Structure 1
Amino acid sequence: MLKWLKNIEFAMPIKSNNEWITDIVLIDIINFSKLDAKHQLEIINFLTKSYTKMIEKMLENSNMSLKNLILGYISTGDGFYCILNPKLKGYGIILGLSFNYFSEQISSKYSYFEGLRIAVHTGKIYEFTDILGNKNYIGDGLNDCARYLEIKDYKISTIMVSDTAYESLKAFLDRYKNFNALLIEREFKYSSPYTFEDKHGNKKEGRLVWLRKAGIINPPNTNFNSMLTRT
């Protein structure tokens, strides 16, 4: 077992009225604003279709509905936030690693694509109904997640995770021990803690994580026989 899995207490999801504490995955296309409108549209369309198909396949493999995995998406123009169902808090880093897998595929299709930056954070969000009558989300959790994309010196093949997201992952792996074996098989790696100040002067701590054997890892459900999609 990974050495840091011992003696970890799993924290149940928290909701108070419209308040949630859960995992947030932020996808950002590098230098998206420098592309012309045609290339921006091509990348966004391809990224959206690819991730939609990926999520659909993951749900099929895990025999679960979309609402049981994801609360919602929020477009940022050059990417999107993916907000997980709090019952799967801790899976966000694994989902981020699965999203990152497609970066190489996009690079092979579009020569002007420079890669993705991905951050994962466990934080607080608030649900509200927007002007179109749809569910939407705001909160410090979204803002804090974005701060982890301010780090300039990490490689595209890695994702940046907050200290709270990393602790959520450890609790998740303690609850779903099968995933510990999956991450070991895929050679999950992580850096030492990294401390920095965001643009507002607030201190943040996080670390880089990556898989040496990239792939898509399905979310947990009652059937653990097909959790890992091999590619």
Structure 2
Amino acid sequence: MLTRWCSLVVVLLVSNSAFGKQNETDANIHYFHEGLVISPWELSLNYGKNSIDENGYASTVRNSLVLRAVEGKNGNDAIQLKWKPKDIKTEWGGIDKNILTATLTNTGGFIDLSSVKENAAIALDIMVLSPPKELVDWTIESEWNWKQRASFPLKNVLKKLPKKEWITVPIPLKCFDGGSVNFSKITSIMQLSTEGKMEIVLGDIRLSALPEGIGC
């Protein structure tokens, strides 16, 4: 596991590095695959302000959000995310949501999902260890612009999942259509946040065909 996560850290810090399967894997479809972030995607906490160390560990202020490497599905590495908010405020007096956010952002360009937004989904392999207490948002962004975001509410989905079992959850792209996202220039495929306690493990994150009968 440590060897794979050393590779992961290098991928995070050097976007043009050639490691593992990233050159063999389509970064338009796979974002986190078999324990590796696929270049030029970058995994971070607090929008890149909290780095992942050589042991696959990162945390935001006062451990409000902690990421660590764990063994995942089918023996591949995965990331465990634990939210334990400490009521840290912004300079304007509101909850600092940035320190409660894990992201997968494209550091080298964008991907065009406009032609598949009606029949594709973001599929995530997930295990719920502790279900959410508050609202959970999975947000995508275009053109690295915070004004071009749309979110999908995950709280009810995650609360219904069995604990400590791997489940593949599809999030239809069309469910993000109510925001101001430019689907032809997607630059962040995941901005995952909650203001309450929650603990999950994430495996592969990828684009997949939308299963029949799945709606918003």
Tell me if both proteins adopt one fold, taking TM over 0.5 as the criterion. Answer: no
- Which structure carries more helix by proportion? 1
TM-score (norm 1): 0.29
Larger Rg: 1
Which is richer in strand?
2
Normalised to the residue count of structure 2, the TM-score between the two structures is: 0.30
